[in-house]
């Protein structure tokens, strides 16, 4: 598949039955003089950590591009997404000191892998912090963490290219761990859990079509993604049953948003499925009243966002990653 990159926008991503679209979640905005930050409030601490991480990542990307100008075209889009993150989390925060200039490896591949490691650490912090803050800010942190997770997932391919080595382009849920919780969720979480389960039912159906139309290299990746969605489906089913609710059943069949007869069409469908699931899991993050359910949803959001980026990378679709997955 050597065609020129295809631009895929959200307007193009038509909706599968059962995959509801959630509205954009507003970030915090301040006015006037910034208010002092609490040193003990979990939300203030989470905001401070997010702001510090985004400043550090921005400095690392700037220093890497300065050291290795040939990487500019690939790194600047990711750097700009971090600028968006910083703007979103700043809110009413006090100005923070600029981070010290990072030391960048003279080897391009090593420098890129260092960025991937930093992104992975930041994504883990956002995942941990989103369970202890207010719902709207939890959604913002979860979405930023998902973006950081996608950066960590796509940067190794850039490192391999910089090193002059070839390796299969990642795709689907490749390399993503789906860890689930089986604690009983709050009854109030039920509608968002049901919506996520309906989305997973549709995803399982869609991946049967996707796998049948990908090329030989893509079919194992689709099989792994299907397995991940089956696990997520069963976990959501059990969580809903634990509340005493009746888990929503799968439809007998689903009408696809477009005809899938070729590998490029199958890749587009995979992107659509994961993108819509990201929206459903972000909605569950903001709706969840108990920490285990919110943690489950935030982890699933990272998984679906990484899967979307993997399929885009495999299909040479642009943009490769997003600043705020699920929004």
In the chain, what is the greatest distance between 2 CA atoms, to the nearest angstrom?
A: 59
Domain 6-318 belongs to what architecture? Up-down Bundle (1.20)
Compute the average pLDDT of residues 234-250: 95
* Domain assignments of the chain as residue spans, ordered by start: 6-318
Q: What is the pLDDT of residue 187?
A: 72
Torsional sign, CA 316, 69, 323, 199:
positive
More confident residue, 97 or 314: 314
- 120-145 core/surface letters (b: 16 or more CB in 10 A; e: else): eebbebbbebbbebeeebbbbbbbbb
The pLDDT confidence band at residue 179, using thresholds 50, 70 and 90, is: very low
In this predicted structure, which of 5-9, 130-134, 147-151, 215-219 has the lowest mean pLDDT? 5-9
Give the Cα separation of 135 and 308 in Å (integer). Answer: 24
pLDDT tens digits, 3-42: 444 444 443 433 444 443 233 223 333 444 545 555 689 9
Q: List the beta strands (DSSP E) in the chain.
A: 6-7, 317-318
pLDDT of residue 91: 65
Q: What is the mean pLDDT of residues 207-229?
A: 96
Window from 138-152, 184-198, 210-224 with minimum mean pLDDT: 184-198
Report how far apart, in Å, the C-alpha atoms of 86 and of each of 4, 29, 240 are. 32, 12, 36
Long-range pairs for 156-163: beta carbons < 8 A, 24 or more residues apart? 156/112, 156/113, 156/116, 157/313, 158/71, 158/74, 158/75, 158/112, 159/108, 159/109, 159/110, 159/112, 159/113, 159/116, 160/109, 162/68, 162/70, 162/71, 162/108, 162/109, 162/112, 163/107, 163/108, 163/109
**How confident is residue 188, by pLDDT bands cut at 50, 70 and 90?**
confident
């Amino acid at each position: 598949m050597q065609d020129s990159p295809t631009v895929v926008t959200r307007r193009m991503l038509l909706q599968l039955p059962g995959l509801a679209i959630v509205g954009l979640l507003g970030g915090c905005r301040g006015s006037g003089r910034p208010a002092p930050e609490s040193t003990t409030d979990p939300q203030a601490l989470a905001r401070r950590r997010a702001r510090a991480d985004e400043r550090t990542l921005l400095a690392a990307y700037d220093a890497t591009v300065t050291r290795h100008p040939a990487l500019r075209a690939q790194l600047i889009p990711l750097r700009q997404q971090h600028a968006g993150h910083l703007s979103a989390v700043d809110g009413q925060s006090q100005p923070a000191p600029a981070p010290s200039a990072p030391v960048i490896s003279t080897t391009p591949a090593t420098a890129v892998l260092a960025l991937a490691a930093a992104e992975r650490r930041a994504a883990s912090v956002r995942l941990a912090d989103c369970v202890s803050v207010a719902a709207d800010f939890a959604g913002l942190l979860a979405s930023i963490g998902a973006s950081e997770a996608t950066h960590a997932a796509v940067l190794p391919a850039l490192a391999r290219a910089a090193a002059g080595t070839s390796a299969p382009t990642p795709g689907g849920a490749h390399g993503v761990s789906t860890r689930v919780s089986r604690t009983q969720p709050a009854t109030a979480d039920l509608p968002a859990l049901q919506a996520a389960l309906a989305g997973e039912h549709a995803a399982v159906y869609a991946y049967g079509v996707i796998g049948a139309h990908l090329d030989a290299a893509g079919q194992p990746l689709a099989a792994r993604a299907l397995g991940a969605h089956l696990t997520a489906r069963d976990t959501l089913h059990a969580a809903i049953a634990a509340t005493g609710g009746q888990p929503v059943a799968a439809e007998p069949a689903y009408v696809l948003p477009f005809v899938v007869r070729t590998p490029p069409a199958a890749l587009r469908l995979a992107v659509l499925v994961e993108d819509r699931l990201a929206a459903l899991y972000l909605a569950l993050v903001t709706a969840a009243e108990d920490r285990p359910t919110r943690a489950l949803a935030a982890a699933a959001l990272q998984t679906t966002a990484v899967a979307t980026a993997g399929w885009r990378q495999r299909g040479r679709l642009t943009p490769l990653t997003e600043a705020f997955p699920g929004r």
